[in-house]
Amino acid sequence: MAITKVSRNLLSTGIDDQSNATAITIDSSEQVGIGTASPSTRTHIYSSAISTPLIVESTANTYVGIKNTTQTAYIGAVTSNMTFENNGSERMRITNAGYLQIGSASGDTMLNVFQSAQNWTTSFNNTSSQPYGMVMNFTAAAPNNTTNKFFQMGDSSATRAVFYSNGGLGNYQSNNVNLSDEREKKNIVDADAAWDDVKAWNIKKFHYNEESDSDPKRLGVIAQDLETDNPELISDFPKQAAADEVFWTEEDELPEGVSVGDVKTPAVEEITRKGVKEQQMNWVAIKALQEALTKIEQLESRIETLENA
């Protein structure tokens, strides 16, 4: 038995058949048609404004989506994966392992983005007046080594650059570039004499607190020592960003003994330490070397004069 007409009686549900045409049809196969008397799938919605069928949920229950003659968009399940299709082609899928694949049906990372065109693969835009960029955190470990990596960049032949978990950058030598064009600078004057500054730098050997006493010691300066005579070479280093408390809510699955409103994650205070502008230190050191070379040349000239007297 088929119900072929539902009209004003269902006005309270939002279904109105003012044209006295078929509004909802449930056929003998329990297929539902909205706007059509001949549903072709489990749920078939027809719009005369589009002039072709809009279909949601296929007869095989393999997808849920919309379709017309020229364009399609599906959310479907293929071999236990959830797929997202558009215009007849798969565009994205969530695998049964929870991996998100965009532009490709394969990949072994939680997020895999594949781009075959000559465009950027990924773009992130922050339109805030106080913008921040990306954050990469290891929240369950602090490896601090050259094995675990924050980022790795490479091509078809080799790895080109790596950011290690110890904060170090590894890349091909002599490729780093800093903007130095005269057209991009102003207030240009000769640098101050650096002989006394560099001579006063106290170079130390040390370990960072998280390093083992058996690790090779590092070479460098102590920021507080350098700050006395060269405060322009000191900068703040954000060791830990501040974070507000996070509370358990009604939407959470509450562990035993925990109530809504209890603190889920304690607040974290900002921790700032002193850093040094090592690239600027290199230029100060070069300036001191130039002064030393001038002194050497002057002494050589005086010696030569004395020898020829």
Q: Is the pLDDT of residue 96 over 70?
A: yes
Contact criterion met (CB below 8 Å) for 203 and 293:
no
The pLDDT value given to residue 260: 93
DSSP sequence for 188-248: --PPPP-HHHHHH---EEE--TTS-TTSPPEEE--HHHHHHH-GGGEEEEEEE--B--EE-
Contact 22, 44 (CB under 8 A): no
- Does this model's pTM top 0.85? My answer is no
CA angle, 300 then 305 then 308, to 5°: 125
| Model confidence pLDDT, tens digit, residues 135-148 | 899 989 989 888 99
Q: What is the pLDDT of residue 16?
A: 44
Per-residue pLDDT at 91 = 86
Short-list 38, 34, 37, CA closest to 54: 34
pLDDT at 161 > cutoff 60: yes
| Position with higher pLDDT, 68 vs 127 | 127
Tokens of 97: 């392992």
Could you state, in order of their start, the residue ranges of all structural domains in the chain?
8-113, 144-173, 191-307
The pLDDT value recorded for residue 277 is: 96
Q: Would you state the pLDDT for residue 280?
A: 95
Answer yes or no: is pLDDT of 1 > 70.
Answer: no
Q: Can you tell me the distance from the alpha carbon of 185 to that of 168, in angstroms, rounded to the nearest whole number?
A: 29
Predicted pLDDT of residue 304:
93
Average pLDDT, the chain: 83
Other C-beta atoms lying within 10 Å of the C-beta of residue 194: 19
CATH of domain 191-307: 1.10.10
